[in-house]
């Protein structure tokens, strides 16, 4: 037996045992996955649940093809609120606080403007220094439009940096590069103590870890649905507005869909009194109803079980790296203050990821040198984790 064959054999036996005991193993069969591919990019684009294609076909042929314009009143117009209620338990929100509408970028803009409008007399916005670029771009534009300044600080330092000038903070729950999980309860509490409002970006946590917006007393949140929620490419984002803020929620994109009487065609804007006021324009029905179908895989799911498997997948990924690539430069925290991804620095960067692609292991690359491997507990297996690390060792 070769020098590396022994640890691989031992890890393979461990992976088989873990997969055999996986309480979520049956969920994998609900996804349309290529058996030749080990997919580790669910943190960018989730895999499609099998029922989505059939549901979308029904929407096109029946709801659109036969019911035509009647479907707006029968099912389509209320879809953003109805689907928002399906997402609410995944983010720890009581009813009436989540609506699906627009893109993540549009929703970040709406929420951040609303947050600073709700907190007058303060001229500063704190932004996560390591944020996904679009959040930073949008914060800069909000500042230009509202007369605020933007200050970038790491999320962990926000509790000490928020002060009497701070109107709002925009923070990522999970860092998109490293996968580090930030402490939402303590950050939100400290931000509130400074008199500021908290806007959370949940794009890399919803569908991966339990989120408890109500319990944390979060003010606003936005999340995408095409990553761990598997809603499909370009599926619409969702907005959370805490009940206590809804009556004064003054968002800048006051479109007809957020009007109190959208079909009344009034010349002036009157905001809907509830979460619907976070809507702006006509919803993208095909994408929205594809998302609705994709959410079926979450029905009855215990998020604690999901979290336990996600952490176990990450722990096993680290073990495989330690055994097979002991010099790997791991960016992701090894403790459990992390989301469901493992990030590794690699000098080969894009070339290394291209080589992984050629061998059927699909992760992704973030400049300048980070390889990301998303771990979607609903369909990622421990055997695939071993395959990813084994192939990485061979191509780097």
The Cα–Cα gap between 332 and 314 comes to 9
Q: β-strand 220-223 against 38-39: which pairing, if any?
A: unpaired
Non-local (6+) Cβ contacts of 240 within 8 A are 91, 93, 97, 98, 213, 218, 220, 221, 222, 223
Which is the catalytic residue, given 107, 201, 292, 346?
201
The Cα–Cα gap between 288 and 283 comes to 7
The Cα–Cα gap between 366 and 58 comes to 38
Q: β-strand 361-362 against 341-345: which pairing, if any?
A: unpaired
Is 226 designated active site? yes
The Cα–Cα gap between 253 and 271 comes to 11
For the chain, how many residues are written?
A: 396
Is 132 designated active site? yes
The Cα–Cα gap between 231 and 288 comes to 8
The Cα–Cα gap between 159 and 204 comes to 21
Is 110 designated active site? no
Which is the catalytic residue, given 227, 277, 309, 387?
227
Is 372 designated active site? yes
Q: Give the three-class secondary structure for 361.
A: strand
Burial of 20 (0-12, 13-18, 19+ CB in 10 A): exposed
Which is the catalytic residue, given 110, 338, 372, 387?
372
Instruction: Please state, in angstroms and as integers, the Cα–Cα distance from residue 286 to each residue in 12, 51, 61, 239, following that order.
Output: 42, 14, 12, 19
Instruction: Please state, in angstroms and as integers, the Cα–Cα distance from residue 193 to each residue in 111, 163, 164, 196, following that order.
Output: 20, 9, 10, 7
The Cα–Cα gap between 167 and 121 comes to 8
Is 39 designated active site? no
Burial of 184 (0-12, 13-18, 19+ CB in 10 A): buried
Neighbours of 30 (CB within 10 A): 16
Of the candidates 211, 151, 144, 217, which has an alpha carbon nearest to the alpha carbon of residue 182? 211
Q: Which residues are catalytic?
A: 132, 201, 226-227, 372
């Amino acid at each position: 037996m070769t020098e590396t064959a022994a640890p691989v054999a031992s890890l393979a036996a461990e992976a088989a045992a873990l997969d055999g005991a996986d309480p979520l193993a049956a969920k994998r069969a609900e996804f349309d996955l290529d058996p030749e591919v080990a997919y580790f990019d669910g943190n960018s684009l989730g895999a499609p649940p099998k029922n989505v294609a059939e549901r979308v076909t029904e929407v096109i042929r029946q709801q659109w093809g036969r019911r035509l314009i009647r479907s707006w009143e029968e099912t389509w117009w209320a879809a953003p609120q109805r689907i928002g209620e399906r997402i609410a338990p995944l983010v720890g929100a009581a009813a009436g606080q989540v609506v699906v509408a627009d893109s993540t970028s549009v929703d970040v803009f709406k929420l951040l403007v609303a947050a600073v409008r709700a907190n007058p007399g303060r001229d500063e916005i704190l932004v996560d220094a390591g944020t996904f670029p679009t959040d930073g771009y949008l914060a800069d534009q909000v500042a230009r439009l509202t007369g605020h300044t933007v200050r970038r600080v790491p999320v962990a330092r926000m509790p000490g940096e928020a002060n009497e000038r701070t109107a709002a903070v925009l923070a990522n729950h999970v860092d998109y590069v490293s996968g580090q999980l930030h402490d939402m309860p303590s950050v939100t509490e400290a931000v509130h103590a400074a008199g500021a409002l908290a806007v959370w970006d949940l794009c890399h946590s919803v569908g991966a870890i339990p989120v408890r917006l109500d319990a944390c007393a979060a003010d606003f949140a936005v999340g995408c649905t095409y990553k761990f929620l598997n809603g499909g490419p370009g599926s619409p984002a969702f907005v959370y507005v805490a009940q206590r803020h809804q009556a004064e929620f003054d968002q800048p994109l006051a479109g007809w869909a957020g009007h109190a009487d959208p079909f009344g065609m009034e010349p002036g804007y009157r905001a809907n009194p509830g979460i619907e006021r976070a809507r702006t324009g006509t919803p993208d029905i095909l994408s929205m109803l594809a998302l609705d179908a994709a959410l079926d895989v979450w029905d009855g799911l215990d998020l604690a079980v999901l979290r336990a498997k996600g952490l176990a997948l990450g722990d096993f990924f680290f073990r495989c790296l330690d055994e097979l690539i002991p010099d790997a430069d791991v960016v992701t925290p090894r403790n459990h203050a992390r989301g469901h991804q493992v990030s590794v620095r690699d000098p080969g960067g894009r070339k290394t990821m291209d080589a992984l692609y050629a061998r059927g292991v699909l992760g992704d690359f973030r400049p300048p040198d980070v390889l990301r491997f998303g771990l979607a507990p609903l369909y990622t297996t421990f055997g695939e984790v071993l395959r990813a690390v084994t192939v990485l060792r061979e191509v780097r």
